[in-house]
Structure formats: C-alpha cells, structure tokens
C-alpha cells in the first residue's frame, strides 16, 4: 500500500506524480523546476486533502484518468460500456517504465476487461510535455468507447485567467481571455476539422501574468478533427483540465485486443510570461514535430489566387510569373482552377487531371517557364473533396461520407470524400502522385474548404478514421516524394494544429491578408506556432476581404512576420512599387536563416493601438522588430519603446528599414532625433532599460527596425 512517486524534470519544469493504493497516478506538482529532493511520503502528506463534511467519507484523488467509481464527480476520463454493462471502471496500476524523459504506466481493470496505457514524455530543451492514453479491450466481447480523455491535469485556483482562440473564416486566431469562476468552461468542436471557430488549445495564467513575466500553462491538443477542451471546477478538487477527441456514436467499438489511442496533449509551463510559453512551443515544434525541410531557407512565394482567381490562361500566368520573379519570388504556386471543368467553384473537385481545354499542352509551358527563371513550382489540391458536378462523383457517388437516406448538405457546392475507402484512397494517392512526378512539383497547397457533417461510412460513423486517413494520405505522398513540401490550408486557417504539423510544414493562417486584420490573427497564431511556418503574403492595396486600403510598406512589414510572399497581382505594380516589394523581399532573404530559429517576443502595449513584436536570433546578434498601428494613439507622441531579449552587454546598431521613411516623417514636424541619421548604436542594456522614442504613428502605419550587433 506504499505510495509510489514518479518524477520528470525538463530544463525548467518539474512534474511529480503520486499513486496511492495502486491507483492511477495523480499529478501533484507541475511547475518550475524543483531543486529539492522529495519522497513519496512527504508528497502524500502535503497533498492529501481534508475530508469535508457532507461528502464521501474517504479521501479522493484527481488522477490522470479520473474515475467516478473512486469518488470523482467531474467528467470521467473514460466513458464507455460493454453493451450497457461495465459502464464504470476502476483501474489498478500494474507496471511502470521510468526513463529520464518518459513515464509509461500500465493499468488494468480486470473485471471490466480493460487495459490502459498512459504515456508522458518530455522534451527537456523546450519544456514541452506530451501526454496520451491508449485503451485496450482485453475481454472477448466488444467494448464501445464513447470518450477517452487525454490525461487529466489538476490546476491551481490561482490560475484563473483562461485564454483561448476563436474566430470565423477570414478572422481566425482571435484571442479571448476570461476570468474563471465556478462551473466549467467547455469547447466542443464538431466540424470535422480543427476549425475556424475554436482552436484546440488554451493558456491558463494568473491575473498578474503578462507577456514578459508571470506564471502560465499552455495546453494544446494535436488533433485535426472533433475535440473537447474542458476546464472544470469541482468542490473536492479545485480545478482540472481535460482535453480529448469527441467521438461520434459507435465510432470506436473495440473487439478483443483492439485499442483506441487518444490524440496527444502537449503542455508547457513557465513563470516567465506568455512570450516564453510561446517560445517553448515554437522550439518544440521546430525540434520535434516539423518536417526537416522547414529548417531550410524558406522561399518567397507568389500565389495565383488573388491575382487571377479562376481566370487561368497561359499568357496571363506567364506574365504573372515574370512579374513576380522581378520582385524576388522564388516559388510560383498555381492555385485553384487548373483541373478538369474547374472554371468556378461549382465543379471539378475530385478530377485531378489538368484541364486540356485551358492548358492544351498540359502545365508544361508554365512549369518550364517557372523553372527557366530558377523558381520552384507549387500546385493547389483539395484532395478530400468532390463536387457532385464531377466525373469522380458521377462514377462513384458511394465514395462520399454520408448517412443515407438523409440528404447531403453541400457547402461551397462540395462534399467530403470518405478516405477510409481503400479504392478511393488509392485513386487520390495515384492521381496526385502522377502529377507530382510529371511536373516535379515542389510544393502542394493542400486545401480543405468545408466542415464535415454526417460523417458516415457504410452507415457507421467515420470521423475519427477520416482524420487518420488524411494523415496517412499525406504521409504516403511524403514518403513517395521525399522532397515534396505540403502546406495545410483549410479556407485559410481552419486546420492548424500540432497533429497536422507532423505531416505538413507550412500553414495558411487566414485568407484575410489585410495587414490591420492580420495583427490579431498573427498575434493569436504566434501564441502556439513558430512564425516561419506561417504563410504571410502581401495583398493588394485594397484588401479583397475587407476593402481596407493600406500602404505597401504596412502590408510588406506585416508579411515579414512570417514566410513572406505575394498574393497581389505582380503584373500591376508600377516601378516604385516594384522597388518597394523588392526592398522588403531582400530583407526577408537576408534574414530568413536566423529567423527560422528566432525567439519571438510580443511586447506589452505602450499605446493601445500599437502592436510590437520582435524576432531575436538565437545568438542574440540580430533582431527584427515590427511596430504596427491599428488606430490613433491618445498622446501626441507614441512614447518610448523598450526592447527585450537582447544581449545587455552587446552594442547594437539600430536601423529603421522602412523603404519609405519620408511617408512617416510627413505626419509630424520632425521624427524622433535618433531617426535623423536613421540609425544609432547603443548597448542592449540601454535599448532594453532606457529605450527610445517612436515616431508619430497614425492608423495603419508600420515600422520595421533592425538591431544588429556591431562586432558580430
């Protein structure tokens, strides 16, 4: 009956777990790294609750898989049954495998015929912990899994600020922070993709936590399908966090020896504020998740979508390639519209053959032209979808996810294909693969433009299988074409999560590239994801989604916060604009190598309308800062900017890199004094402690600053 104690230490965090009476272990500490040794008895003494009146007579725990049968009144970690029986469970710990960077627990409930494997692993460098459950049916009869949460984590009541991300098409990653009180905060996503509406991640913090200081824990479910995020508050156990996949009824029925595994929950904690939390997640993604090609020089994209939409024509495309190349594009992407019958979004999805009525010689003239310029070539696909008006649907209507006799519910006049059907899977794999080979495609923009409903396959729910099949299809293509790069796009940013990032390495965060709207989108995105994987394209002077007009400088500076590219029609640029685009593209190219490993700092607002963030190289020798205004500041001058994350002992040259400084100057009588020479040299300490004055920044202006260590 001795308590058993388990410990994992990363560079800056410690995790302590305790198992009493062979029960599933409970997290008793997850926080800043402990220097003290602890033992099981001390931990038990410190963490065993009072026994309140009017409650159960014994002490109860909040283990990794909370069980109703042991006195837990919140959301049970496992919900399932054996044809109505075994609806409640009680696991006993059987064995543990302990390593410096992982703990694997095996627990069984023999009377219910179930085995549970719990795996916790850590990445010491980034302080990110990964958590998952696997449930196996060990009995002869079928066991239906209704819900299996990832390991449940207790949270302190002091962490009462909950930050989540929400939105819609064209307005993704909008941050919401609420104060938690009694009751539960729950998000259920049933859209069959990560979704625009909610992001499967959250940050819990204290009231005093900010970007540069304070305690916070982030949790993110790496899953691109349906999910639940839950933060609940129950009398006996204060607060707990539980995330898991939302399963459709009957979707997971385990036969003997079959298993169901949860998606992975990723967590990280810090006492150093939200920017550090983000840096840890970025570092983890870079080191552990993302494909290797994301660590190479990321090319400047030119994408055909907003330039031409469905107006595909060889002469226009070639002119677009020439114009994009002249301003520094290195990869040309032919977006939606190139395949059979795809003259609008009404038809053609599923027929992945080049439309010979538009391209009589195939894509060869275009691809050859792109290559002759030394550029790479990318192509758009939407593999999971079919238009009813397509040859594919006409010959295989049964390949669609559906629940007959209920009618299909179209969205963008398209339906979702049932990727669990092997013949369809093969068709998609081969039709994409043939084109990748034929045109030596370097990159695929993999789109997914609708939510999924009634995900039925042969009268059985198949949403879980569908997501696994999407991952499998991407993997099969990656394996067959090791140099191929895949981007995840889903009507903008509806499929961005750590699950998809194991199979793709670039994401399209939003169709909204209005730079002012982009401030919040990119801010929310940066909470969880490293900036260099985010496609950030410069749009037209009048943003297509909002009608807002902005200067080229502002659009280009905001696009430098990610992997820059062009969405505008390069053919329409005048000489001055071409020079401006080239100026910023050159800055991107000069800095992209260190940007891919940079630390991102979001600085607290000095004026409500000013948004400052910076990327500082890992060796602190160079940094790029952007200041973007989305309104009028209250004071006559915006005030002083104190930088962060620099080496206090290094001397930096600070330069404003705006192509058009006169534009900023004309809003006042004079720029701040240091900008007279557009450069100054100062120690990192003074740049961070004393800071320096910003110019007057009216709405929609942006400033790009570089700090470069002089001796470096």
Q: Closest distance between ligand DGJ and the C-beta of residue 508, in Å? A: 6
Task: List binders of ligand DGJ among 49-108 (CB under 6 A).
Answer: none
Listed in sequence order, the DSSP H helices in 440-508 are: 463-480
- Residue 305 lies near ligand DGJ (rule: CB under 6 A): yes
Q: Are 226 and 451 in contact (CB under 8 A)?
A: no
| Binder of ligand DGJ out of 511, 517, 520, 553 (CB under 6 A) | 511
Closer CB to ligand DGJ, residue 236 or residue 520? 520
- In angstroms, how far is the first alpha carbon of the chain from the final one? 61
Please give, one letter per residue, the 3-state secondary structure of 408-450.
CCCECCEEEECCCCHHHHHHHHHHHHHHHHHHCCCEEEECCCC
CA geometry: angle at 690 spanning 689 and 691, to 5°?
95
With a CB cutoff of 8 Å and minimum separation 6, the contacts of 225 are 192, 193, 194, 245, 463, 464, 466, 467
Q: Closest distance between ligand DGJ and the C-beta of residue 190, in Å? A: 21
Q: Closest distance between ligand DGJ and the C-beta of residue 20, in Å? A: 51
* Count of residues that interact with ligand DGJ, criterion CB under 6 A: 11
Q: Measuring CA to CA, how many Å separate 324 from each of 63, 413, 659?
A: 57, 32, 19
Smallest Cα–Cα separation from 381: which of 422, 332, 415, 337?
337
The residue whose two tokens read 């649907």 is 393
Neighbours of 368 (CB within 10 A): 12
Residue nearest to ligand DGJ (CB): 336
Q: Closest distance between ligand DGJ and the C-beta of residue 373, in Å? A: 22
Closer CB to ligand DGJ, residue 450 or residue 611? 450
Q: Residues 285, 287, 289, 294: is their CA dihedral positive or negative?
A: positive
| Binder of ligand DGJ out of 199, 223, 380, 529 (CB under 6 A) | 380
Q: Closest distance between ligand DGJ and the C-beta of residue 345, in Å? A: 6
- Residue 414 lies near ligand DGJ (rule: CB under 6 A): no
DSSP symbol at 163? E
Active site residue 315: no
Q: Closest distance between ligand DGJ and the C-beta of residue 382, in Å? A: 7
Closer CB to ligand DGJ, residue 529 or residue 601? 529
Stretch binding ligand DGJ (CB under 6 A), from 60-68, 179-187, 486-494, 624-632: 486-494
Stretch binding ligand DGJ (CB under 6 A), from 284-292, 487-495, 639-647, 699-707: 487-495
Closer CB to ligand DGJ, residue 385 or residue 616? 385
Stretch binding ligand DGJ (CB under 6 A), from 10-18, 147-155, 488-496, 672-680: 488-496
| Binder of ligand DGJ out of 67, 232, 336, 514 (CB under 6 A) | 336
Q: Closest distance between ligand DGJ and the C-beta of residue 37, in Å? A: 53
| Binder of ligand DGJ out of 457, 491, 522, 630 (CB under 6 A) | 491
How many Å apart are CA 537 and CA 544, to the nearest integer?
A: 13
| Binder of ligand DGJ out of 489, 521, 641, 707 (CB under 6 A) | 489
Neighbours of 311 (CB within 10 A): 11
Task: List binders of ligand DGJ among 424-453 (CB under 6 A).
Answer: 447, 449
Q: Measuring CA to CA, how many Å separate 625 from each of 529, 608, 644, 673?
A: 18, 18, 10, 19
Q: Closest distance between ligand DGJ and the C-beta of residue 488, in Å? A: 11
Smallest Cα–Cα separation from 521: which of 544, 540, 498, 496?
496
- Residue 525 lies near ligand DGJ (rule: CB under 6 A): no
How many Å apart are CA 532 and CA 595, to the nearest integer?
A: 7
Bond from prior residue into 405 cis (ω within 30 degrees of 0): yes
Closer CB to ligand DGJ, residue 5 or residue 393? 393
Instruction: Reduce the DSSP state of residue 343 to 3 states and report it.
Output: coil
User: Which one of the listed residues 442, 511, 520, 553 is annotated catalytic?
Assistant: 511
Active site residue 336: no
Binding site for ligand DGJ (CB under 6 A): 305, 335-336, 380, 447, 449, 489, 491-492, 508, 511
Which are the catalytic amino acids?
Answer: 447, 511
């Amino acid at each position: 009956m001795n308590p058993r104690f388990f410990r994992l230490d990363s560079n800056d965090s410690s995790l302590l777990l305790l198992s009493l009476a062979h029960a599933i272990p409970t997290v008793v500490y997850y926080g800043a790294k402990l220097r003290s040794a602890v033992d099981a008895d001390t931990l038990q003494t410190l963490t065993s609750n009072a026994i309140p009146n009017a409650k159960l007579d014994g002490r109860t725990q909040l283990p990794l898989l909370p069980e109703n049968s042991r006195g837990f009144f919140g959301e049970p970690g496992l919900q399932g049954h054996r044809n109505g029986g075994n609806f409640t469970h009680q696991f006993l710990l059987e064995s543990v495998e302990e390593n410096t960077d992982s703990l694997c627990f095996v627990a069984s409930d023999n009377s219910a015929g179930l085995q549970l494997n719990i795996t916790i692993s850590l990445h010491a460098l980034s302080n990110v912990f990964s958590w998952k459950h696997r449930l196996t049916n060990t009995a002869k009869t079928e066991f239906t899994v209704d819900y299996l949460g990832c390991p449940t984590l207790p949270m302190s009541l002091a962490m009462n600020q909950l930050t989540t991300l929400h939105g819609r098409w064209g307005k993704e990653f909008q941050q919401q922070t609420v104060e938690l009180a009694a009751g539960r905060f729950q998000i259920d996503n049933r859209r069959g993709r990560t979704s625009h509406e909610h992001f499967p991640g959250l940050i819990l913090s204290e009231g005093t936590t900010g970007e540069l200081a304070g305690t916070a824990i982030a949790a993110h479910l790496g899953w691109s399908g349906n999910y639940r995020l839950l933060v609940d508050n129950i009398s006996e156990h204060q607060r707990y966090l539980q995330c898991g996949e939302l399963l459709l009824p009957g979707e997971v029925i385990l036969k003997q020896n079959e298993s169901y595994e949860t998606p992975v929950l990723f967590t990280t904690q810090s006492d150093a504020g939200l920017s550090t939390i983000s840096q840890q997640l970025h570092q983890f993604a870079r080191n552990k998740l993302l494909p290797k090609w994301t660590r190479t020089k990321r090319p400047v994209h030119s994408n055909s979508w907003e330039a031409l939409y469905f107006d595909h024509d060889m002469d226009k495309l070639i002119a677009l390639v020439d114009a994009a190349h002249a301003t520094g594009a290195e990869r040309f992407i032919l977006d939606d519209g190139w395949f059979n019958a795809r003259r609008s979004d009404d038809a053609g999805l599923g027929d992945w053959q080049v439309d010979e009525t538009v391209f009589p010689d195939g894509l060869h003239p275009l691809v050859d032209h792109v290559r002759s310029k030394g550029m790479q070539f990318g192509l758009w696909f939407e593999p999971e979808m079919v238009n009813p008006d397509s040859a594919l649907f006409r010959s295989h209507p049964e390949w669609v996810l559906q629940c007959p006799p209920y009618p299909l519910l179209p969205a963008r006049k398209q339906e979702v294909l049932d990727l669990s059907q092997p013949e369809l899977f093969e068709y998609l794999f081969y039709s994409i693969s043939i084109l990748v080979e034929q045109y030596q495609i370097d990159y695929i923009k993999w789109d997914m433009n609708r939510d999924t409903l009634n995900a039925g396959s042969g009268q059985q729910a198949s949403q879980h299988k569908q997501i696994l099949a999407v991952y499998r299809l991407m993997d099969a293509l990656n394996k067959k074409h090791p140099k191929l790069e895949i981007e995840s796009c889903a009507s903008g940013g509806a499929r961005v999560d750590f699950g998809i990032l194991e199979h793709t390495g670039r994401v399209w965060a939003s169709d909204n590239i209005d730079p002012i709207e982009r401030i919040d989108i990119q801010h929310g995105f940066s909470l969880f994801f490293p900036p260099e994987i985010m496609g950030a394209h410069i749009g037209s002077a009048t943003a297509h989604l909002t009608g807002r007009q902005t200067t080229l400088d502002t659009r280009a500076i905001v696009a430098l916060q990610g992997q820059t590219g062009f969405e505008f029609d390069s053919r329409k640029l005048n000489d001055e604009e071409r020079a401006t685009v080239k100026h910023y593209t050159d800055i991107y190219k000069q800095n992209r190598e260190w940007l891919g490993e940079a630390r991102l700092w979001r600085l607290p607002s000095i004026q409500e309308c000013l948004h400052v963030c910076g990327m500082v190289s890992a060796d602190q020798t160079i940094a790029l800062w952007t200041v973007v205004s989305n309104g009028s500041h209250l004071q006559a001058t915006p005030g002083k900017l104190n930088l962060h994350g620099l080496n206090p002992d290094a001397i930096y040259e600070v330069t404003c890199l705006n192509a058009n400084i006169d534009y900023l100057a004309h809003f006042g009588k004079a720029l701040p004094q240091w900008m007279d020479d557009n450069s100054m040299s100062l120690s990192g300490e003074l740049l961070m402690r004393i800071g320096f004055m910003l110019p007057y920044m009216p709405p929609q202006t942006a400033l790009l600053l570089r700090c470069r260590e002089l001796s470096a």
